[in-house]
Structure 1
């Protein structure tokens, strides 16, 4: 799949043909980049793949140490009697207590976590392959539409030239017929050829409009 992708990129790079139907200096590469940015199906696939990549980060996080912090505070009272030369001395003490605890756990090996991580990697790898396949299909779609557009524009130019020539032939056939040296068959054939060329031109222009909308 990766080799195919590189071949497609090489094909695109070698087909930078000018096309008057594109604004400014647009070419096949710029059309492909535009399609990557705006094609709805491809963007959806790319967004899903990006979201799936987070599964690897989530699975990898399970390998990190687990830290737990706790804190407590309280108050205490103590009554104490001390014997002195003057007799017993009673003392009452009030005090506050604070306790903090931080524990960190790091398992040396967790089979379940390792299996989950490998599963996430395999799943994301599959999604990456689907994204690459979608990119290749988009390349082919844009390339086909581009080449069809170039070909159709060339065909339109030829048909326009053919119509111009056929129109002159029809005029000459009518002139010859009016002069008594031509035949009705010649006029009819020239008229038919002109009508066929006009119909072909109309179809070609309709096809060009469709290809242009695809681009």
Structure 2
């Protein structure tokens, strides 16, 4: 598959090489989780078995046109009575007799019946449509498995970065708690000196309790996200973190129109629906007028043997038939069943086409949202980095002013909180950029393990 991380990848390739030979190889990364998820994710495994089972449809579609050979044997207790009158009888040396009667009778005799038949379809449009449908259903399963692979890649990346997001948020909130704790201690000291009111101290305590409660919730959220990741990779090892110095300058986007064309031609969901439309067309063809006649080549050999005794003494009947030829079948009236089935199939075909149109519109909307998000992400990251630098400079300036008494502790706390919030927004935007590129590749039907490796190169 072609990667969406185009057109320049040399810098990323070097990062990937460094990643593979890093001394931190013991830490878990995206590729470790991916390889584990291939053997653990129930949805992916289910899709694989579905694909393997559907592969048998190709054999079944071919088998519909191969000869059917049947052997039947019956043994039973049979009674048989026959009576013929007015027959002409002739025997050598006896002449000819008219008005002869022949009677045979076997009561509860022993009968054996054997038959071997071979039927070779020659013309059968309904069977032809069935054969095509079976083979196309295997194509749908192949696409479904490819879609499951893409979904698993996204699942691995999203759960991995969910944990990193939760860890980073908790780390930043810990820094904010430390700042609030310092302010609270300062308020307590000033209250003892008479430079702060009891209300100021209570407000500081309230802020401290509030941040402690938030951290408790964040810890619970982190544990839940770790458990979700453990479903794919059951390990207590630490996971690699997102590099602090990310450079997205070499990751370019093609024009939106070209992505829309790729979406319509390559999106796995649309390709599956297109095959389903073809299956629906074959369903219509199965019940057309031209599909009703069938022509088969047939060959049959049978033998019936009946022995026993009856009203006229011991008797034995043997009947042997051998036949080879053509059999034409034309249904003249089915009670309206075939016409009703064809009308139903036509309506379902139109429904499938409408579903394709709706899915195309929804996917195009998702594609546009992702494209504009990625298009603006580079500028947003630049602004956020500049904002972070300004917040860092402001914090340093406020600290110096606070040390000489020209700034209050509340102003220092506000500067620290602003820096922490900017760091969190910047981190989230970096994660969104990486995940959105994977999502865009998935929409275009191009997402593969190589894309996961490119994202993995940003971990350290």
Which category of TM-score, normalised to the shorter sequence, fits these structures? 0.5 to 0.7
* Matches of 1:7 and 1:29, distance apart in 2: 18
**Which residues of structure 1 form unaligned runs of 5+?**
68-104
* Matches of 1:58 and 1:50, distance apart in 2: 13
* Matches of 1:207 and 1:151, distance apart in 2: 10
Alignment of 1:113-124 (within 5 A): 115-124=129-138
Distance change in 2, residues 1:61/1:24 (3 Å) = farther
Q: Choose from 31, 50, 61 the match for 1:29.
A: 31
* Matches of 2:205 and 2:48, distance apart in 1: 55
* Matches of 2:198 and 2:26, distance apart in 1: 50
Q: Choose from 158, 166, 173 the match for 1:144.
A: 158
* Matches of 1:133 and 1:211, distance apart in 2: 24
* Matches of 1:139 and 1:184, distance apart in 2: 55
**Which residues of structure 2 form unaligned runs of 5+?**
6-11, 20-24, 70-117, 230-460
* Matches of 1:66 and 1:51, distance apart in 2: 23
What displacement does 1:131 show?
2.2
Residue of structure 1 in register with 2:169 after alignment: 155
Q: Are positions 1:57 and 2:71 aligned together?
A: no
My pick for the range that moved more, 55-64 or 117-126, is 55-64
Residue of structure 2 in register with 1:42 after alignment: 44
Alignment of 1:76-115 (within 5 A): 115=129
What displacement does 1:55 show?
2.2
What displacement does 1:205 show?
1.0
Q: Are positions 1:165 and 2:183 aligned together?
A: no
How big is each residue's C-alpha offset from its partner over 1:84-129, in whole Å with a ceiling of 9 and x where there is no partner?
A: xxxxxxxxxxxxxxxxxxxxx9x8x776776554322200111122
Q: Are positions 1:129 and 2:143 aligned together?
A: yes
TM-score by length of 2: 0.31
Q: Choose from 193, 199, 209 the match for 1:195.
A: 209
My pick for the range that moved more, 130-139 or 170-179, is 130-139
Residue of structure 2 in register with 1:175 after alignment: 189
**RMSD between superposed Cα atoms in Å:** 3.5
What displacement does 1:179 show?
1.3
Residue of structure 2 in register with 1:97 after alignment: none
Larger relative contact order (CA 8 Å, sep ≥ 6): 2
* Matches of 1:144 and 1:55, distance apart in 2: 35
SS at match of 2:194: coil
SS at match of 1:25: coil
* Matches of 2:189 and 2:208, distance apart in 1: 16
SS at match of 1:181: coil
My pick for the range that moved more, 161-170 or 115-124, is 115-124
TM-score by length of 1: 0.63
* Matches of 1:128 and 1:34, distance apart in 2: 22
How big is each residue's C-alpha offset from its partner over 1:132-156, in whole Å with a ceiling of 9 and x where there is no partner?
A: 2233332222222211211111111
What displacement does 1:29 show?
2.5
What displacement does 1:62 show?
6.3
What displacement does 1:47 show?
0.8
* Matches of 2:135 and 2:155, distance apart in 1: 30
* Matches of 2:51 and 2:30, distance apart in 1: 26
* Matches of 2:141 and 2:173, distance apart in 1: 47
What displacement does 1:213 show?
0.9
* Matches of 1:142 and 1:185, distance apart in 2: 49
